Each structure stands twice: as structure tokens, then as C-alpha cells.
């Protein structure tokens, strides 16, 4: 009975974060449209600037639309693996099976850090197979992560299956992770954040993850994360239509341009 009460409480808490993201007064930024049009892209971006208590969005309707998370799911998926004990730590080695998967960075032994950095799909497919659909579903529901649906193939549901999440919901999830407030062990949340490190300077740290649902209809690209400042974090979630690999750099380029305009990232290289 106590376990059931705890499960119910955690679901309520996490659903509360998602509800809060929807309830916020998001200010539409039509001027950000030029960042997408200049790149020849169609998409949305939501930005929550905790330094100023501001919530901005370009294309609010799309930001509320649930889309395939693709490799952004590696963030919670890593948390699941650690929580279940499927993976011990960031040093555990996943031996490459010798199958050429078309990317040089994937065709070698991996650990959690390289798998996150290189977005190594086969590592996370192995993790999913160890967890099984039942455990995946339990953790997804515990988080209140999008529609929390891992059906349609345990090693494919985030790649071309039914799992869906919106940009607003991505930010709600990231807020909980940033604060170590997700219903998972604190040390696991801290490790996942460390694995998300993209760039760090003396006064700021960028933690983020890309995603590309190449088999979605239409294909969707993501870049989600936050920039840490002494004054507070700036969370962002961008998604856009992807015509092919040539569009991959546009995800970061568009988001960085917007974050620079907000002084959430410095200008320049």
C-alpha cells in the first residue's frame, strides 16, 4: 500500500510539472520566425528563462503538439538504465558486436558518455531490451513523459513507434532534472546531467541533446537542454521538420541564434 501511495504521489508531482508548463503565460515571439526562414526550416522553439521569469515561444500551436522524441529520449532512457541497475555507471563498457551500422563513431565499444555524445542507437536498444516494455512503461508513467507509450517494439518505440512528447513537455521534464526533483535517485540525475555536457565556459554551462526521427512522418529534428548561469538556467526545446541529413546542423544553429539574442549564450564561435 505504501508503494502504491508513493507511486501515485510521484505521478501527481510529475504531471504537475507538465501541467505547469502548459499553464504558464507563454509570450509568442513572431520575430523568431526569421531564424527559421533564414535557415529554410519549419519548426518551433520554446524558451523558459528563469533569470527573468519569462516564457517565450515561436509557433505556440506546434510547441504544444506531441512529436516523436527520437534521440532526445536518451536523456530519460539513461536515467531508466541507471535506476534499474541495467547500467552500473558511466564507465561500463558496451562491446561492439562488429556490425557496421553506417556511422564510424558507432562502430566501436561504447560507454554511457560516448553513447550520449555520439547518439549511439544500438546501446540504447540493448538497454531497452534489458528493461522490457513493462519497466519502460512504469518509468515513463512515473515521469509523466509525453504520452508515456512504449508499445510497438521495445527497441523502436522512441525511434519510429508511438512515443510522443511536446516542446512544452520537454521543458517541464528538463526543469525537474535540473533541480534533481524527478522521482529517481538524485545521484542518477546528477550523472545524466554530467553526460549531457556540450560546452562550458567560466560563467556558463550548456547541457543539451539532439534528436532526429528520420523514420517519422514527417521526419522531425530536436535540440533540447538548458544553459546554466549564476542568475539561473535558460531552458529550451526546439523541433523542426527535417528533409535529410543536410538539415541536421540547422537544429543547433537556429536555437543558438535565438539564445544569443536573449544573451543566454555569448555571440561568436
CA–CA gap between residue 213 and residue 233 (Å, rounded): 27
DSSP code string of 201-254: -SSEEEEEEEEEETTSSS-EEEEEEEEEETTEEEEEEEEEE--SGGGHHHHHHH
Task: Give the residue numbers marked as catalytic.
Answer: 71
Amino acid at each position: 500500500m505504501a508503494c502504491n501511495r508513493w507511486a501515485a504521489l510521484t505521478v501527481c508531482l510529475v504531471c504537475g510539472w507538465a501541467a505547469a508548463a502548459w499553464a504558464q503565460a507563454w509570450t509568442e515571439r513572431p520575430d523568431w520566425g526569421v531564424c527559421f526562414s533564414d535557415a529554410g526550416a519549419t519548426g518551433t522553439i520554446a524558451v523558459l528563462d528563469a533569470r527573468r521569469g519569462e516564457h517565450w515561444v515561436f509557433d505556440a500551436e506546434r510547441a504544444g503538439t506531441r512529436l516523436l522524441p527520437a534521440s532526445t529520449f536518451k536523456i530519460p532512457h539513461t536515467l531508466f538504465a541507471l535506476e534499474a541497475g541495467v547500467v552500473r555507471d558511466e564507465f561500463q563498457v558496451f562491446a561492439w558486436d562488429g556490425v557496421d551500422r553506417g556511422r564510424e563513431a558507432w562502430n566501436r565499444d561504447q560507454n554511457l558518455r560516448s553513447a550520449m555524445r555520439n547518439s549511439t542507437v544500438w546501446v540504447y536498444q540493448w538497454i531497452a531490451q534489458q528493461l522490457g516494455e513493462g519497466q519502460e512503461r512504469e518509468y515513463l508513467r512515473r515521469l509523466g513523459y509525453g504520452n508515456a507509450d512504449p508499445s510497438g517494439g521495445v527497441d523502436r518505440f522512441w525511434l519510429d513507434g508511438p512515443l510522443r512528447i511536446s516542446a512544452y513537455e520537454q521543458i517541464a521534464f528538463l526543469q525537474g532534472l535540473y533541480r534533481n526533483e524527478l522521482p529517481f535517485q538524485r545521484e542518477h540525475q546528477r550523472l545524466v546531467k554530467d553526460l549531457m555536457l556540450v560546452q562550458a565556459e567560466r560563467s556558463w554551462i550548456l547541457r543539451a541533446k539532439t534528436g532526429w526521427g528520420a523514420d517519422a512522418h514527417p521526419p522531425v529534428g530536436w535540440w533540447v537542454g538548458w544553459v546554466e548561469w549564476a542568475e539561473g538556467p535558460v531552458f529550451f526545446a526546439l523541433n523542426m521538420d527535417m528533409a535529410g541529413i543536410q538539415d541536421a546542423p540547422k537544429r543547433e544553429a537556429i536555437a543558438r541564434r535565438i539564445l544569443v539574442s536573449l544573451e543566454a549564450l555569448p555571440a561568436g564561435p
